[in-house]
A and B are shown apart, each in its own frame.
Chain A
Amino acid sequence: MAEDLVKDFGETRAVDGISLAVPAGSIYGMLGPNGAGKTTALRLLLGIIDPSSGTRRLLGHDRPLDAAREVGYLPEERGLYPNMTAREAIAFMGALRGLPLKEGRRRADDLLAGHGLSEWARKPIRTLSKGMAQTVQLLGTIVHRPRLIVLDEPFSGLDAINQAKLEELIRAEARDGVTVIFSTHVIAHAERLCERIAIIAGGRLAFEGGVDEARDRLQPIVRLRTRSEDGPWRSAIPHGARHERGEWVFDLPPGGPEPLLRALLDSGAGIETLAIERPGLHDAFVAIAGDAAAAAMGDPGAPS
């Protein structure tokens, strides 16, 4: 839980009054464009850095480091000791979080076997591929069986197969009651995994809530194809509609589909196809983050 967190780096305000609460046992996505302040917000939550102002509470602890044994963290910039073996690296990361070294080694063997990396267990990290090293670090993040896992841009640098594996791992942890927070600027992952999201732009929290809530922020989109190219029915098409590849695309007017349909039929538009689509999270994100970024930059035309 964070309340009105602010972080200044010199003259630059990286995080500007972020407040959020992550429900226990959920998969929570932190979305935002590059440089939005996601990583700084996560570092503040974890106690790696202290805020300029505001408060935070992690798993019931006012001092985040007091909860360190119950937290796993995969930073955006991956780092392992290159001369350590994969097995020792995982056990060491567990030991940092209070797991006895012997037990850490045992669990490391199991985890590496579970991810098809048994034969690499006793090889130095420097001999592993980037993807393998990233997997090793991820396993080190969960080896002590934390209650909360924080992953900063976990999908970056992974191929499609490993991305799918990571998604499955996140789901499996959540099924076991673990809370997972991850940041990303790739919306598809959040759309597939998250129950709740926070959209951060320009250091501010632009949106916080369920994925459906975010999508509902936008009007559904109407795609209309008519037999007639022109006529009085054109007055039924809202101002600002786009004509793309032979069809009209526009936001569903506030009155809903019924008045629109009636107006089109009455004016002889000759409807060939008409589809009303719910906007995706990507559209919602672009709209919300774009507006927030514009507002943060002081654009007078941006919605409040």
Chain B
Amino acid sequence: MPALLRSAFVIARRDFTATVFSRAFLFFLMGPLFPLLMVGIFAGIGGTAVSQAERPSVAVVAGDLDFQALAEARARLYNKVDVSAKLELLHVLPRPDAAAQRTKLLVSKSPPVIAVLEGGLARPHLIGPVHAEGTTIRQLQFMVEDARRARADPDPNAPIVQLSRTTASAGSLATPRALTARAGQTVLFLLTVLLSGMLLSQLIDEKANKIIEVLAAAVPIDAIFLGKLFAMLAMSLLGIAVWVAAGAATIAMFTGQSLASLPPPAVGWPLFMTLAVVYFMMSYLLLGSVFLGIGGQASTAREVQTLSMPVTMAQVVVFAVAATAVGSPDSPRALAAAAFPLSSPFVMIARAAELPELWPHLVAIAWQALWVGLILRVAARIFRRSVLKSGPARRRSWWRAART
């Protein structure tokens, strides 16, 4: 193991054990559990409201009689069976250019349409990105058959609902993926804000107890910074693991839902979750190295508190920049935010929800890692110069020279 990493490991091990095996860490772990419990309870109520407000719609292109029969069948079905993902039926009168009408409906975002049912009850034809065995087509099949039965002269040879599957519709993909993107960004931001702020005070102990001199004589300052950064990252990941487990259990217990009930991201759930962990680590390391550098200049807890406000505001600005990328991941603004190291992880997690390409993530992770190294290097250099008073003599500034 290179000397720098070995030294960083020694520092990280001490910091990690000193933090995790302390009584304060229990409070740290328990802190978010109470709000999580509340979120779990209210998510049950809120989730119902959301499902009503944003229930997926099927546009039914049919005459008034056919639609009315279908709507009545829908009402009968939902009266008899408790379906969690109830379909909304949107009545649209047929127009001469059926293809143009269909395309327009499929890209409609208000309301979001997941599929279009054409052909009336006689020849029902569902077009859209729905699963052949999924709940949408099965519910529609029930409704069509029930509507036919309700008529006086049902045709026993009438065809079942025929499906023409398309890859995507605005209603089926864009809106939910943007929601996933925004959710991913928000969670990433909240975790980073909550956890990386601790790094502001990481060097206070060493400075107050005069240990910094012992450390600086034995290992490079870069190793001290790196060790502290990774110790806090490991502690944060441990905390997140506990919170995620507790959160998942709470959500499952109170809402009966799981991750699978959320809109799937473009890269798929397993990769999205992996990228979420990686981007959390990168955003933590990036912001954390900045905080460590800033906090290294503080000598007391009071100074750290004074510094924390502008630092938090700066984080909010970074998040606001990243938030503009959601919905248009290839726009110049989004690309600029992805290139700016501190907002890059937030932009890229949103991109993972919206676009399936993987190579931009590899480039972004390498870019972010490079910046972690650079920021740490600069922070360590500033610390040596300003706190340890190291380095060659500075040239007298012009104003000082002018004064003398």
Q: Report which A residues bind B (CB closer than 8 A).
A: 8-10, 43, 46-53, 65, 68, 71, 73, 75, 77-84, 92-93, 95-98, 101, 137
Q: Do most interface residues of chain B lie in helix, strand or loop, or is the interface mixed?
A: helix
Do B211 and A79 touch across chains, with their CB atoms under 8 A apart? yes
Q: Name the one of B218, B220, B391 contacting A73, with C-beta atoms under 8 angstroms.
A: B218
Which A-chain residue is minimally distant from B390 (CB atoms)? A49
Residue pairs across A and B with CB atoms within 8 Å: the count is: 74
Minimal Cβ-Cβ distance residue in A for B394: A10
Could you tell me which B residues sit within 8 Å of A by CB distance? 6-7, 10, 13-14, 18, 22, 205-206, 209-220, 384, 388-394
Q: Contact partner of B219 among A50, A65, A84, CB < 8 A?
A: A65
Q: Quick one: which of B10, B206, B392 contacts A96, CB cutoff 8 A?
A: B10
Chain B: minimal CB distance from A97 (Å): 6
What are the residues of chain B within 8 A of A82 when measuring CB–CB? Answer: 209
Q: Which 9 pairs, one residue from A and one from B, show the smallest C-beta to C-beta distance?
A: A79-B210, A49-B390, A96-B218, A79-B211, A8-B393, A75-B213, A77-B210, A52-B393, A73-B217
Q: Which residues of A contact B13 (CB under 8 A)?
A: 101
- Identify which of A75, A77, A83 contacts B217 (C-beta below 8 A): A75
Residues of A within 8 A of B219 (CB): 65, 68, 96
29 contacting pairs across A/B (C-beta < 8 A): A8-B393, A48-B216, A48-B217, A48-B388, A49-B384, A49-B388, A49-B389, A49-B391, A50-B384, A50-B390, A50-B392, A52-B392, A52-B393, A65-B220, A71-B217, A73-B218, A75-B213, A75-B214, A79-B210, A79-B211, A79-B214, A81-B18, A81-B211, A82-B209, A83-B22, A92-B14, A93-B218, A96-B7, A101-B13
Which residues of the other chain, A, contact B206 by a CB distance below 8 angstroms?
Answer: 79
Query: Are A50 and B391 closer than 8 Å at their CB atoms?
Result: yes
Kindly list chain B residues whose C-beta atoms are within 8 Å of the C-beta of A81. 14, 18, 205, 209, 211
What residue of chain B has the Cβ atom nearest to residue A73's Cβ? B217
Inter-subunit contact B18/A83 (CB<8 Å): yes
Within 8 Å CB of B392, what residues of A? 50-53
Do A97 and B218 form a contact, CB below 8 Å, given A49-B388, A52-B393, A53-B392?
A: yes
Chain A nearest CB from B220 CB (Å) reads 6
Provide the residues of chain A in CB contact with B220, threshold 8 Å.
Answer: 65
Pick the contact of A84 from B18, B213, B390 — CB < 8 Å? B18
Cross-chain contact B389 with A96 (CB below 8 angstroms)? no
Most interface-central of B6, B213, B390 (chain A CB within 10 A): B213
A78 to B22, CA, bound (A): 24
Please determine whether B218 and A68 come into contact, CB atoms closer than 8 angstroms: yes
Q: Which of B6, B22, B392 has the most CB of A within 10 A?
A: B392
> Do the beta carbons of B217 and A47 come within 8 Å of each other?
yes
Residues of B within 8 A of A97 (CB): 218
